[in-house]
Each structure stands twice: as structure tokens, then as C-alpha cells.
Amino acid sequence: MSVAGIALDASSRSPIVLLRDPSRSRQVPIWIDQAQAHNIMAGLNDTPQPRPLSHDLMAALLEAGGLQLERVIIHAIEDSTFRAVLRLCDSDQISDVSAGEATEEEVEAGIGTDDNLLEIDARPSDAIALAIRTGSSIWMLEEVVAEASIAVDAEADAEDRDEFRRFLDKINPAALGRHLESRPPGDPRDSQGDTQSP
């Protein structure tokens, strides 16, 4: 999947990250909050920040720990919430295997194979923001795409993107804070996961 962009829900004005399939005929909308939208947009635009954002820090920690984000997998929808995992591997082992430097014993021990991958549960929005910063691929299981995808309308897609850009141009931190405070208690967008629809 690729990140097609960020759109706004016409009724709730909540941001939505749009993931598009390789055929570019279907996209999957995932409702997120304003902070998550900002993190994804900052990664997409490669916007310089005065201090590292959380996902910049995560990418730096992975690198410092000798780990590499192999891919993000969005694998399920449970109670209208998308579920994702980060697949991490040892970056030294991957580079050795890809360079043909792995010994026969290392290959037999499973270095550079699925046995050495670590999977960590993550919100899809965090996983997407991290994948953008590390250049990692975003995968979605076909059953999730089948359940949550919508047909692509390129013209409407461009209009939504332009509308969201106009919204971002006008917004300031104080206005964003007022908008978030105006939401009723128990708003589903305040949950720990990213949702299929509000």
C-alpha cells in the first residue's frame, strides 16, 4: 500500500489517512486525530522540525539499536479499529545476507529469515508515520482491504486534498486546541487505536 494523502471527513472534520493499493483502484480510509495527521504529513513533506518528532525519535532509536523496520503490516479490523504490527529485523544481519556475506551456519541458524523478525503491536497511524521516515513498505492483508476499501475517484480525491491543505494553512495551535477540547467526552477518536469510521 502507499499513502495517497490525508483527507478530511466532511461531517466531523476529522483527518483521514488514505492508503491506496498497488493497482491504484482502491483505497482504505483510516480515521486518525490531528496530531497523528501532523506526524504523517511532516514525514510525507519531509518538513524540517526544530526538535525531533516522536516518529523521528523512533527511527533514530531503531538505527542506534541496529534494528531496521522491514515492513508495516495492517492485519485486522477489530471493533472498527485497525490493527497493525511493525516487523523489525537486525540491520547488520539483513545487510550481510543481502551482500552475500552470511555464512552457511548463519543461514542455517535462520539469520535474515522470518525466524529472526520481531513483531511489535502498533497503531496504524504510528506505523505509517514510522514507515514513511524509514522508507519501509506498508502492507495490508487482502481481507482487510476487501472489508474497508472504497473505489478511487481521482477528482474527488484531489478536491479533498486541496480542502485539507487550506484547512492546515488556516489552523494554528490555539485553534487546534479549541477544536480538540470541543469534542464530547468519550469521542471514539480519543481511543488508543485508529478507526474504520467515526
CA dist 80 and 23 (Å) reads 25
For residue 97, list its beta bridge partners. none
CA dist 182 and 99 (Å) reads 55
Residue 131's pLDDT band (boundaries 50, 70, 90)?
Answer: very high
**For residue 36, what pLDDT is reported?**
92
CA dist 138 and 70 (Å) reads 9
CA dist 16 and 157 (Å) reads 12
Task: Evaluate if residue 108 carries a pLDDT over 70.
Answer: no
Q: Choose the weakest-confidence range: 88-97, 115-124, 135-144.
A: 88-97
Higher-confidence position of 24 and 110: 24
Whether 183 and 190 have beta carbons less than 8 Å apart is answered as yes
**For residue 84, what pLDDT is reported?**
97
Q: What is the pLDDT of residues 7-26, one digit of tens each?
A: 998 888 899 999 999 888 89
**For residue 96, what pLDDT is reported?**
46
Q: What is the pLDDT of residues 32-87, one digit of tens each?
A: 999 999 999 989 988 777 888 889 899 999 999 999 999 999 999 999 999 999 99
Residue 121's pLDDT band (boundaries 50, 70, 90)?
Answer: very high
Residue 106: phi, psi to the nearest 5? -65, -40
Q: Percent of the chain having pLDDT more than 70?
A: 77
Domains of the chain, CATH where assigned: 2-179 (3.10.690.10)
**For residue 58, what pLDDT is reported?**
92
**For residue 20, what pLDDT is reported?**
93
* pTM of the entire predicted model: 0.67
Q: What is the pLDDT of residues 134-162, one digit of tens each?
A: 999 999 999 999 999 988 766 666 677 77
